[in-house]
Amino acid sequence: MSHAEILDETPAIHGAMVEFDDPDTLLEACERAYAAGYRKMDAYAPMPVEGLAEAIGFKKNKVALCVLIAGICGATLGFTFLEWISGVAYPHNVGGRPLNSWPSFIPITFECMILFAGLTSMFSMLAMNGLPKPYHPVFNVEAFRRASVDKFFLCIESTDPMFRPHDTMHFLGSLGGKEVSIVPA
Amino acid sequence: MATIEKPEHQYVPEQFIPDPGPDSILSPGHDYGTVTDRITGVVYNPFKKSPKKWMVGAFVAFCFVNLLALCVCVLFLRGVGIWGINIPIAWGFAIINFVWWIGIGHAGTLISAVLFLLKQDWRTSINRFSEAMTLFAVACAGMFPILHLGRPWLFYWLLPYPNSMWLWPQPRSPLEWDVFAVSTYGTISLTFWYVGLIPDLASMRDTAPHLWQRQIYGFLALGWRGSAIHWHRYQKAYLLLAGLATPLVLSVHTIVSFDFAVSQLPGWHTTIFPPYFVAGAVYSGFAMVLTLIIPLRAWYNMRDMITLRHIDSACKLMLGVGLIVAYGYGLEAFFSWYSGDKYESFMYWNRATGPYGFTYALLILCNILIPQALWSRKVRHNLALVWIISIIVNIGMWLERFVIVVTSLHRDFLPSSWGMYIPTKWDWGTYAGTIGFFMLLIFLFVRALPSISIFEVREVVHHEAHLANEKEHA
Mutate to test the interface with B, among A85, A114, A135, A140 (most CBs of B within 10 A): A114
Mean pLDDT of B446-464: 87
Question: B206–A145: do the CB atoms touch at under 8 Å?
Answer: yes
Q: Report the range of poorest mean pLDDT among A79-88, B46-55, B151-160.
A: B46-55
CA of residue B221 relative to chain centroid, distance: 26
DSSP helix/strand/coil, B261: helix
Indicate the residue of B172, B187, B244 with minimum beta-carbon distance to A101.
B172
Residue B473 lies in a domain: no
- pLDDT (0 to 100) of residue A119: 96
Domain holding B153, by residue range, is 32-158+169-412+433-466
Question: A108–B177: do the CB atoms touch at under 8 Å?
Answer: yes
Mean pLDDT of B273-293: 91
Residue B18 lies in a domain: no
List Cβ<8 Å contacts ≥24 apart for A162-170. A162/A36, A162/A37, A162/A38, A162/A39, A163/A3, A163/A15, A163/A16, A163/A38, A163/A40, A164/A1, A164/A3, A164/A6, A165/A6, A165/A10, A165/A13, A165/A16, A166/A1, A166/A6, A168/A16, A168/A38, A169/A16
- pLDDT (0 to 100) of residue A158: 87
Tell me what the pLDDT averaged over chain A comes to. 88
Cα–Cα distance, B345 to B267 (Å, whole number): 9
DSSP letters of B387-414? HHHHHHHHHHHHHHHHIIIIIHHHS-S-
- pLDDT (0 to 100) of residue A3: 55
Residue B25 lies in a domain: no
Residue B26 lies in a domain: no
- pLDDT (0 to 100) of residue B185: 93
Mutate to test the interface with B, among A84, A105, A121 (most CBs of B within 10 A): A121
Handedness of CA B60, B64, B65, B70 (dihedral sign): positive
Question: B177–A111: do the CB atoms touch at under 8 Å?
Answer: yes
- pLDDT (0 to 100) of residue B15: 42
- pLDDT (0 to 100) of residue B8: 41
Residue B418 lies in a domain: no
- pLDDT (0 to 100) of residue A5: 54
Question: A58–B223: do the CB atoms touch at under 8 Å?
Answer: no
pLDDT > 70 fraction of chain A, expressed in percent and rounded: 94
Residue B6 lies in a domain: no
Mean pLDDT of B259-263: 91
- Set of chain B residues whose Cβ sits within 8 Å of the Cβ of A150: 31-33, 36, 458
B425 pLDDT higher than 90: yes
Q: How far B300 CA lies from chain A's nearest CA (Å)?
A: 21
Cα–Cα distance, B226 to B48 (Å, whole number): 33
Quick check: A43 and A153 in contact, CB under 8 A? yes
- pLDDT (0 to 100) of residue B21: 66
Quick check: B427 and B122 in contact, CB under 8 A? no
SS (H, E, C) A111-168: HHHHHHHHHHHHHHHHHHCCCCCCCCHHHHCHHHHHHHCCCEEEEEECCCCCCCHHHH
- pLDDT (0 to 100) of residue A185: 79
DSSP bridge partners of A184: A13
Mean pLDDT of B262-275: 90
- pLDDT (0 to 100) of residue B50: 80
Q: Report the range of poorest mean pLDDT among A151-155, B44-48, B68-72, B230-234.
A: B44-48
Question: B31–A53: do the CB atoms touch at under 8 Å?
Answer: no
Mean pLDDT of B112-125: 82
Give the model confidence (pLDDT) of A62-72 as tens digits.
999 999 999 99
Indicate the residue of A47, A55, A82 with minimum beta-carbon distance to B171.
A82
B28 pLDDT higher than 80: no
B373 pLDDT higher than 80: yes
Q: DSSP assignment, residue B158?
A: G
Count: domains in chain B: 1
DSSP letters of B44-87? HS-GGGS-HHHHHHHHHHHHHHHHHHHHHHHHHHH-GGGSS--S
Q: DSSP assignment, residue A59?
A: -
- pLDDT (0 to 100) of residue B350: 93
Q: How far are the Cα atoms of B93, B281, B359, B396, B415 from residue B353, in angstroms, in the given order?
A: 22, 26, 10, 18, 17
Which parts of B416-453 fold into alpha helices (H)? 425-448
Residue B110 lies in a domain: yes
- pLDDT (0 to 100) of residue A46: 92
Q: Are strands A13-20 and A152-157 parallel, antiparallel or unpaired?
A: antiparallel
Mean pLDDT of B260-265: 90
B11 pLDDT higher than 60: no
Residue B11 lies in a domain: no
B305 band by pLDDT with thresholds 50, 70 and 90: confident
Quick check: B423 and B83 in contact, CB under 8 A? yes
A182 band by pLDDT with thresholds 50, 70 and 90: confident
Mean pLDDT of B322-343: 91
Mutate to test the interface with B, among A30, A84, A111, A156 (most CBs of B within 10 A): A111
- pLDDT (0 to 100) of residue B20: 65
- Set of chain B residues whose Cβ sits within 8 Å of the Cβ of A45: 226, 228, 231
CATH number of B330's domain: 1.20.1630.10
Q: How far A16 CA lies from chain B's nearest CA (Å)?
A: 15
Complete domains list, chain A, with CATH: 3-46+150-184 (3.30.70), 63-128 (no CATH)
Question: B237–A124: do the CB atoms touch at under 8 Å?
Answer: yes
Q: How far B318 CA lies from chain A's nearest CA (Å)?
A: 27
- pLDDT (0 to 100) of residue B433: 96
- Set of chain A residues whose Cβ sits within 8 Å of the Cβ of B248: 111, 114, 118
- pLDDT (0 to 100) of residue B12: 42
